[in-house]
Structure 1
Amino acid sequence: MRRVRYESTGGPLFLEEVPVPEPAPGELLLRCEAIGVTLPVVRKVTEAAEPVPLGGEIAGEVVAVGAGVTRFQVGNRVTGLCFGHGYADFALLDEAMASPVPDTASAVDAVALVRSGMVALGALTAARPERGEAALVTAAASGVGHLTVQLARVRGGADRVVAAVSDPAKADFARSLDADDVILYTDDSWGDPVDYVLDAVGGHLLTPALASLTPGGRLVAYSSGGGTIQAYDLLVGAKSVIGFQMARIARGEPEVYERWRQELWHLYAEGALKPVVHGEFTLADAARAHEAIASRSNLGKVVLRP
Structure 2
Amino acid sequence: MLRMRHDIGGAGGGPGVLVAEHVDRPVAGPGEVVVRSEAIGVTLPTVRKVREGGGSVAFGGEVAGAVVATGAGVTGFAVGDRVTGLCFADAYAEYAALNTAMASHVPAGASAVDAVALVRSGLVARGAYEAARVEPGESVLITAAAGGVGTLAVQYARAAGAGRVVAAVSSAAKAGFVRGLGADRVVLYEDADWGAPYDVILDGVGGELLAPAVRALATGGRIVAFSSGGGTVEAYELLVRGASMIGFQMRAIATGKPELYDRWRRELWQLHAAGTLRPAVHELIPLAEAARAHAAIEDRRNLGKVVLVP
Normalising by structure 2, we get a TM-score of 0.95
Residue in 2 that maps onto 1:147: 152
Which of 84, 91, 95 does residue 79 from structure 1 map onto?
Answer: 84
**Equivalent position amino acid for 1:114 in 2:** V
Gap change, CA 1:280 and 1:215, over 3 Å in 2:
same
Q: Deviations over 1:35-66 (max 9, x none)?
A: 00011011111225321231211000001111
Which of 263, 270, 294 does residue 290 from structure 1 map onto?
Answer: 294
Q: How many residues are paired up?
A: 305
* 1:234 lines up with 2:232 in the alignment: no
2:236 and 2:4 map into 1 onto residues whose CA distance is 47
Which of 205, 209, 212 does residue 216 from structure 2 map onto?
Answer: 212
Residue in 1 that maps onto 2:6: 6
Secondary structure of 2:200's match? strand
Secondary structure of 1:122's match? helix
Cα pair 2:148 2:305 within 8 Å, conserved: yes
2:302 and 2:153 map into 1 onto residues whose CA distance is 15
Q: Which runs of 4 or more aligned residues in structure 1 lie more than 3 Å from their structure 2 counterparts after TM superposition?
A: none
* 1:123 lines up with 2:128 in the alignment: yes
Which of 31, 53, 59 does residue 64 from structure 2 map onto?
Answer: 59
2:287 and 2:219 map into 1 onto residues whose CA distance is 48
Structure 2: runs of 5 or more not aligned: none
Identity %: 62
Matching of residues 69-218 of structure 1 within 5 Å? 69-155=74-160, 157-218=161-222
Residue in 1 that maps onto 2:257: 253
Aligned-residue offset at 1:239: 1.1
2:264 and 2:165 map into 1 onto residues whose CA distance is 22
2:228 and 2:267 map into 1 onto residues whose CA distance is 26
Cα pair 2:101 2:254 within 8 Å, conserved: no
1:7 and 1:204 map into 2 onto residues whose CA distance is 29
1:237 and 1:16 map into 2 onto residues whose CA distance is 53
Cα pair 2:131 2:224 within 8 Å, conserved: yes
Residue in 2 that maps onto 1:38: 43
1:264 and 1:46 map into 2 onto residues whose CA distance is 31
Secondary structure of 2:220's match? strand
Normalising by structure 1, we get a TM-score of 0.97
Gap change, CA 1:48 and 1:252, over 3 Å in 2:
farther
Structure 1: runs of 5 or more not aligned: none
CA RMSD of aligned residues (A): 1.2
Gap change, CA 1:29 and 1:234, over 3 Å in 2:
same
**Equivalent position amino acid for 2:166 in 1:** V
Residue in 2 that maps onto 1:302: 306
